[in-house]
């Protein structure tokens, strides 16, 4: 006879502002049987008195993981906000445990409660966690008529959001201040982003943003305007960037190595293509490496890792889905990548100099793929008239290994 599966020792319980009253039967049963209940002080207070040992989860969150694992085998409950697997603690806990060790009892998330109060459809609004992230995460969704619900760390963060919206040209946005949703302290207030903010906003707080104004809006297509990026001239210009992103063909959840990243424009647009995408940028100039992080944060995609160094002496760990070479192209780099990358990975390299162009020509002849020459010219004044001002021609090699 096969062994029966082990009973999960950990129950992850989502708890709302109504505390014990809002818990379902499975969550109540798990708490009744628990030997230990862990959670933030606010959540433990919502639960009230209990015969189990209570342990406050420390800050930072990672410090609580060893404390939890030391209790393996006991009957343990971890309290989390609302739905633990929607920008909550659930994923972090599940990654540390086997699937048979835990079970989850979610309740309504703040996003669901906010939608119910505001009459917004959850599938049509952006759900943005700002409790542990910069306010610039809002940037990709800032557009007139767009609706967002953001989770904030405290009441003071509301003023930060309002100031950011004003600075971006969206001061006319309507802000719905959502305090302690689902509990006896619940309060919903409405203000404009360009108005004074209340000074008595209570935690926990979320904010519904009905975006309005004349600020700049990010395009959804690849090849956004060069003006979005701070740079020193080392940048793939908009038309070339659009062609390069098309050749790289980002797909959901993929990892890009951006080698010789310059301003980071290629990697940043890779991240803008899908929220699950990842980038490791490699840049030899420390000033440019710092600028990449600044550009990424400003455009709301701060999930970029930047390494300072030159390839092939330094290459990131792991295996990417695609590689872009925007600078530092060499025979040694191509050989190192060809030895490192598995079959099916994509590589795109851009060359401007005659030497780099010749190198790509040889590798195209040996390995196949597509070789593209890009000649661009822009209209420019010539005296009282206009003519074409040509840029340096660029050769692009794209190949799937």
pLDDT, one tens digit per residue, over 164-211 is 999 999 999 999 999 999 999 999 999 999 999 999 999 899 999 999
**CATH number (domain holding residue 391):** 3.40.50.150
The last residue of one of the domains, among 78, 107, 136, is 107
Identify whether residues 24 and 97 lie together within a single domain.
yes
Identify whether residues 206 and 236 lie together within a single domain.
no
The last residue of one of the domains, among 59, 79, 107, is 107
Identify whether residues 164 and 195 lie together within a single domain.
yes
Q: Poorest-confidence range of 2-11, 66-75, 136-145, 316-325? A: 2-11
Q: Considering the domain boundaries, does residue 1 fall inside one?
A: no
The last residue of one of the domains, among 107, 131, 151, is 107
pLDDT at 3: 41
pLDDT at 6: 61
Identify whether residues 50 and 122 lie together within a single domain.
no
Identify whether residues 318 and 182 lie together within a single domain.
no
Which range of residues forms the domain containing residue 99?
Answer: 10-107
Identify whether residues 24 and 151 lie together within a single domain.
no
Identify whether residues 371 and 247 lie together within a single domain.
yes
Alpha-carbon separation of residue 161 from 70, 98, 128, 154 (angstroms): 40, 39, 12, 11
pLDDT, the chain, mean? 94
Alpha-carbon separation of residue 40 from 15, 79, 89, 103, 229 (angstroms): 11, 8, 11, 19, 40
Do 205 and 177 form a contact (C-beta atoms < 8 A)? Answer: yes
Q: Considering the domain boundaries, does residue 3 fall inside one?
A: no
Q: Which residue has the tokens 């793939």?
A: 236
Instruction: Name the domain count of the chain.
Output: 3
Dist. CA 344–CA 247, nearest whole Å: 14
pLDDT tens digits along 323-373: 999 999 999 999 999 999 999 999 999 999 999 999 999 999 999 999 999
pLDDT tens digits along 228-267: 999 988 888 899 999 999 999 999 999 999 999 999 999 9
Identify whether residues 327 and 377 lie together within a single domain.
yes
Following DSSP, what letter does each residue of 106-122 receive, concatenated? ----HHHHHHHHHT--G
Inter-axis angle of helices 238-248 and 265-273, to 10 degrees? 50
Q: Report residue 191: phi and psi, to 5°.
A: -140, 165
Identify whether residues 98 and 206 lie together within a single domain.
no
Inter-axis angle of helices 331-340 and 354-367, to 10 degrees? 30
Number of H helices, E strands in the chain: 11, 19
pLDDT at 1: 38
pLDDT tens digits along 119-143: 999 999 999 999 889 999 999 999 9
Q: Which residue has the tokens 């009282």?
A: 384
- Model confidence at 4, pLDDT cuts 50, 70, 90, reads very low
Dist. CA 147–CA 118, nearest whole Å: 11
Dist. CA 144–CA 63, nearest whole Å: 41
How many CB atoms within 10 Å of residue 103?
15
**CATH number (domain holding residue 156):** 3.30.950.10
Identify whether residues 144 and 175 lie together within a single domain.
yes
Q: Considering the domain boundaries, does residue 216 fall inside one?
A: no
Q: Considering the domain boundaries, does residue 276 fall inside one?
A: yes
pTM of the model: 0.90
Q: Considering the domain boundaries, does residue 5 fall inside one?
A: no
Q: Give yes or no for residue 322 having a pLDDT over 90.
A: yes
Identify whether residues 297 and 370 lie together within a single domain.
yes
Q: Give yes or no for residue 57 having a pLDDT over 80.
A: yes
Q: Considering the domain boundaries, does residue 363 fall inside one?
A: yes
Question: With DSSP H G I counted as helix, E B as strand and the rest as coil, what are the percentages for the chain, rounded to 5?
Answer: 30, 25, 40
Dist. CA 196–CA 181, nearest whole Å: 23
Alpha-carbon separation of residue 112 from 33, 122, 182, 206, 249 (angstroms): 29, 7, 11, 12, 34
Identify whether residues 382 and 247 lie together within a single domain.
yes
- Model confidence at 213, pLDDT cuts 50, 70, 90, reads very high
Structure tokens at 202: 């209570």
């Amino acid at each position: 006879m096969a062994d029966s599966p082990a009973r999960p020792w950990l129950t992850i319980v989502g708890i709302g502002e109504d505390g014990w009253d809002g818990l379902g039967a499975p969550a109540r049963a798990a708490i009744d049987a628990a030997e230990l209940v862990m959670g933030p002080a606010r959540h433990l207070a919502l639960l009230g008195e209990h015969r189990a040992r209570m342990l406050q989860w420390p800050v930072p969150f990672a410090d609580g993981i060893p404390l939890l694992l030391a209790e393996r085998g006991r009957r343990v409950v971890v309290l989390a906000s609302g739905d633990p697997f929607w920008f909550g603690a659930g994923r972090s806990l599940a990654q540390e445990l086997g699937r048979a060790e835990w079970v989850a009892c979610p309740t309504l998330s703040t996003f669901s409660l906010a939608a119910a109060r505001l009459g917004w459809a959850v599938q049509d609004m952006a759900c943005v966690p700002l409790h542990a992230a910069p306010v610039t995460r809002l940037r990709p969704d800032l557009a007139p008529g767009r609706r967002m619900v953001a989770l904030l760390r405290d009441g003071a963060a509301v003023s930060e959001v309002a100031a950011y919206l004003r600075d971006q040209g969206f001061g006319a946005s309507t802000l719905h201040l959502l305090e302690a949703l689902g509990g006896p302290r619940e309060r919903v207030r409405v203000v404009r982003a360009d108005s004074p903010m209340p000074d008595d906003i209570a935690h926990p707080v979320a904010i519904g943003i009905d975006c309005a104004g004349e600020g700049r809006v990010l395009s959804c297509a690849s090849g956004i305007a060069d003006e979005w990026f701070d740079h020193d001239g080392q940048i793939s210009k908009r038309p070339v960037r659009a062609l390069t992103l098309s050749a790289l063909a980002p797909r959901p959840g993929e990892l890009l190595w951006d080698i010789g990243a310059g301003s980071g424009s290629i990697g940043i647009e890779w991240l803008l293509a899908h929220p699950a995408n990842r980038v490791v940028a490699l840049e030899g100039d420390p000033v440019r490496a710092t600028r990449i992080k600044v550009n990424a944060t400003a455009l709301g995609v701060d999930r970029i890792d930047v390494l300072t160094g030159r390839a092939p002496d330094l290459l990131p760990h792991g295996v990417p889905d695609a590689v872009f070479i925007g600078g530092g192209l060499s025979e040694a780099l191509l050989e190192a990548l060809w030895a490192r990358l598995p079959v099916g990975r994509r590589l795109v390299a851009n060359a401007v100099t005659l030497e780099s162009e010749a190198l790509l020509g040889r590798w195209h002849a040996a390995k196949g793929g597509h070789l593209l020459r890009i000649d661009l010219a822009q209209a420019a004044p010539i005296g009282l008239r206009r003519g074409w001002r040509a840029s340096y021609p660029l050769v692009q090699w794209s190949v799937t290994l």
